[in-house]
A and B are shown apart, each in its own frame.
Chain A
Amino acid sequence: MVAVSAQEAAPVVAKAEVRGLNFYYSDFHALKAIDMPVYEKKVTALIGPSGCGKSTFLRSFNRMHDLYPGNRYEGEIRLFPDDVNVLAPGVDPIEVRMRISMVFQKPNPFPKSIYENVAYGLRVRGESRRVTLNEKVEEALRSAALWEEVKERLQEPAFNLSGGQQQRLCIARALATDPEILLFDEPTSALDPIATASIEELIHDLKNKVTIVIVTHNMQQAARVSDYTAYMYLGELIEFGVTDEIFIKPKKKETEDYITGRFG
């Protein structure tokens, strides 16, 4: 909503605003009073040592925690422009997931054809016209930089693709539904360096289209792909800011220690 950075030329607009978010796995208090904006058409990286709650935080955005019993949210994640709290009990998690999509750590294509994988989100939304499906599938595969590699074999099983291709297929699957926010949970941790580079490049290109939040363990990756970075530790948000500032001149000592590798 408001410009925060003097370095950015265009005004940045908040796509979502996290306010006082607490999350509990039954009795375990996994996220503690998190306040943070997510800016529209920017890449926000979540970093921090293993177990600090990055995945937990990311999965709150699309209410994945609702799939398992005993999980509880407090606080708000407001989604703009309509200013709705996606965590409100009255909001259907399915509606939230229709707007906020997710790419997982391990590529998880469905055991269906390449085409059906990408088309699935559209089918869920009731789309069955062949022409529209074809169009959207091609568009999504192009956005995911996979079209050229698979256009001749759309009907082949998705499992025939390499790991990196599978992950780009999963990205295409998420993109086909025009999500407002795309969540990535360590999308390259199961991939080799070449596949990783292609996914990073893709994320870089995608931010013109969609707001991205990405969890990563890799400092270089966070520095390369993100505009904003949030450093988390033990369920708390320690520092949030423009990536360049976080990496060059962090305000908090803990952040600096983590980034320079003295810890974590």
Chain B
Amino acid sequence: MTDNTSDGPMLAADGTPLKKSLARALRLQKMRALMLIAPLLLFVLFSFIIPIFSMLSRSVENSIVVETLPLTVTELQAWNADSGELPDEPVYAAFVADMVVAIDAKRHTRLGTRLNYEQTGMSSLFRKSGRKIKRMDPEADAPFKEKLIDVDKKWGDVETWRVIKTHSPTITNGYFLNAVDMRRTPEGAQSQPEDKQILVKLFGRTLIMSLIITGSCILLGYPVAWILANLPMRTANVLMILVLLPFWTSLLVRTSAWKVMLQQQGVINEVLVWLGMVADDSRLVMINNQTGTIIAMTHILLPFMILPMYSVMQTIQPTYLRAAKSMGATNWTAFWRVYFPLSIPGIGAGSILVFILAIGYYITPEIVGGTKGVFISNRIAYHISSSLNWGLAAALGTILLVVVLILYWAYDKIVGIDNVKLG
């Protein structure tokens, strides 16, 4: 490596190209680092990433129709859904053949449930028809068109077949359309009827309320963080325990406590009535609505705002303020022009944290939100555990994830993510 005048690559002492020997040295380091994080990586992969992706994939996955009615779906391809006429006998025959197999495997009710998301009455139609078709013989009893219409006159309704045909592809955008208050029809995507349009409104409400919660956390948290950062270390540590105290009580207990505080016969109303500030017959409604959710969630998420703010403010030297004042700035100007801009990374970090936590929050809105104060996640939970419409739940979850990512990206563009300091 002494006198490397040729314009070839730099050579290491043993004559191998320097780049290559550097890469080799680094590779070893990288391997060791990889080995160290491997357990965590595997854990995250199996317990987090794979489940999330399998869940998200349900939002477009729709193989149940094809799997349950393979012959019918093939036959339906030849049928023009817009013709206004019923399909011909081969479709009916194929349907009965499929159903006999499905009934044997007890799969036909699942299909009914699936199609019921799109058209009410499908679930009972499949259950009822199932009992009768069970007794038919796909070879001997043909033709079936009349017989099926006898079983249930819905089989003579073009709409029933249109639903089956529309939802037969293995990949569907139906769940996503449902998630934004639309539905898949043979004519393409259309809005849901007025009375079924709730999800977009719910998304909007979730976003707005999360913003309000983030805002109130900033307003309440900023002075607290400021005081903590400016107290002597020992006092600050004691007060810090008070800030963290809520973490040591169960979330459920805290939320329920707000119920006690906020209800119409609750502590706050009683005090206000006693003070004469509120008439006995017009007590404030602060629970089971948006107010309740905002109050309780602000309280619960406040530490997540205070902690990053505090850690940023701690690094702001008091000499900056003194310098500003020595140059003629009033207390307010010194704060606003110097301290506040320097504390923005803390506000940013706290806001992101609180907002992302709030937007997906579930327990608190469920308990204190009533019907007007629930979030989109409550709807997701409902579809997962009550209506069992996992596809829709997955679609809602995906949209939520995408919204958060978009906001994160926008935040990065506006404030800059490197301006965020989490600790």
Asked if A pairs with B, the answer is no
